[in-house]
Amino acid sequence: MRRHRKVKIVATLGPASNDYAMIRKLHEAGADVFRLNMSHGSHEEIAERHKIIRQVEEDLGSPIAILADLQGPKLRVGVFANGSEDLEEGAKFRLDLDETEGTIDRVCLPHPEIFAALEPGAHLLVNDGKIRLKVESCDRESADCEVITGGTISNRKGVNVPDVVLPLAALSDKDRGDLELACSLGVDWIALSFVQRAKDVWEARELVQGRAAVLSKIEKPSAVSSFEEILDASDGIMVARGDLGVELPVQNVPPIQKRLVRKCRAAAKPVIVATQMLESMIDSPMPTRAEVSDVATAIYEGADAIMLSAESAAGQYPEQAVKTMDNVAREVEGDDTWREVITASRGGTAPMRGTGIAHGIVAAAREIAETAQIKAISCFTQTGTTALLTSRERPMVPIIALTPLLRTARRLALSWGVQPINTKEVDRFKMAVVSAVRAARSEGYATEQDHIVVTAGVPFNVTGSTNILRVAPCEERLIFNTDPE
C-alpha cells in the first residue's frame, strides 16, 4: 500500500480499535505500525489483536509492523487509611517500608531498591510529578522528605525517581512473560520500558534471541546521559516524552528530542517520537493548532515515525486521528522548507556515515536519484541493513526495499521513506533489476518513460554485501524479457 509521505505512523490499539473493521480502517487511513500496549489487556486479547493485524496484512497485501510495548517496573506508593491526603508545601512527609495504611505524615513505598539508591537531596515525584518531595535524610528502610510541591496524594499513585539510577532490571516478571508471548506470536519490534543503561537492553536481547528487533524507550534522565551506549545496543529508539517531561524540566525535552533524533539518524536506526501528539483528539474530532505544530516539528526533524497512543487506543476518533497525522505529514513534506531542512541536516549524519562500500553505494544512489530525475531507489536486502542505510540518507525519492524475508519487510515498515515489498529470491543481478522495475511500475512509482536506481549485493543472499548500483529504465522489455542473455 503506497504512502504519499516519508514519515511513518504508529497507532496504538485498544478498546476503541480492537476489531477487524477498525484496524483495517486505521491501516488504510495511514497507520504503518500497530502498537500493542502490554500494560493493558490479557494475553488472549493481545493474541487476538495480533491475529487480526496479520489478517489485515494478508487481505491488503501490505507488510505491517507490530510493536509490542512492555510495561516495565511500576513504582507506586501504598494505600492511605483515608484513601488520600493533602500535602502542603513545606510539610514533612516520610516514605518507608511499613505496610501500615498511610496518614498525613507517611505512607508505605514498597520498593527497598529505591531506598538503597536514595541520597539526601534527591527528589521523588508522585502522581506524574504533581507532587515533588526532596529527601532530607534516608536509610535502607525509609526516607524523610520535605514537600516541595504540594497536592493530593492518594492510593497507589506512581513514583518517579529522576536523580538516581535505580538497581532495578528493566524487565519485571510480568514483562518477561509478556516478552515471551510477543516473541512467540511473531511481533516485529519489542519496545523496552524503564531503560536506564545499555545493560538493560543487552539483558532483553538475550531473552529475545533475535526473534524481534529491540527498541529502547528513552524516558529517564539516566537514559539520556547514557544514550550513545543505549543506541549502540538497540535496533531502534522511542523518545517517550511523557515520562521525560515528568522526570526532567519540561523545557529540556524539545532540545533532547532534537539531539536524539539526529543521533538515531546518524546511526541509521529508526526513531519514534511519541506521547501526547494529538492528545485533544481523544475527545475531539479536531486537534489543537499546537498539537499540529508538534507533529510537524517531529517531521521537520526527520523522525522515522510519529505515534498515537490513547488517541487511537481509547479515543472517540481513532480513524480521524490517523488521517490527521497523514494529512499533516503530506502537507509538511510538500513544503520546500521541509526539503531544505532535511537536506541541510544530512551534514549531521556524516561523522557516523562510515567508509565501507555499502555506505558509498547508498550515498551515490541518493546523489544520482536527486540529480538525474530518478523516480525511486530500489534496494535488495536480506536483513534490512541496506534499506536502513538508504533511509539514513533521507532521499527525496521513495525507497523500495525488496526482500525475500517477510520478517524483514515487516520491520522496515517503521523506517522513513521505505516501501517494503516481500518478493521472491533472485540469484542474478539482471533478475534483481527486472524485479525492481516490476515493483516500481506495479506500485505506481514509475512509468515506462522513467528510470530507477537499483542497488544490490553480489553474490546474492549474503548479508552486508551491497556492492553494485545501476540506473535502470522502466521499459516494457525489462518486465517481460527475462532471458539472461
Catalytic residues: 35, 76, 217, 275
CA 69 to chain centre: 10
- Which residues, at least 6 apart from 295, have a Cβ–Cβ distance to it below 8 Å? 277, 278, 306, 325, 328, 329
What does DSSP assign to residue 464? T
Asked if 474 and 451 touch (Cβ cutoff 8 Å), the reply is yes
CA angle (294, 36, 285) in 5-degree steps:
45
Asked if 37 and 17 touch (Cβ cutoff 8 Å), the reply is no
- The DSSP string of 249-292 is -GGGHHHHHHHHHHHHHHTT--EEEESSSSGGGGT-SS--HHHH
E-only strand ranges, 285-413: 305-308, 377-380, 399-403
d(CA 8, CA 215): 16
- The DSSP string of 317-333 is -HHHHHHHHHHHHHHHH
Q: Give the strand pairing for 33-37 and 106-108.
A: unpaired
**How many other CB atoms are found less than 10 A from the CB of residue 404?**
16
Asked if 230 and 198 touch (Cβ cutoff 8 Å), the reply is yes
| Cell digits of residue 249 | 524540566
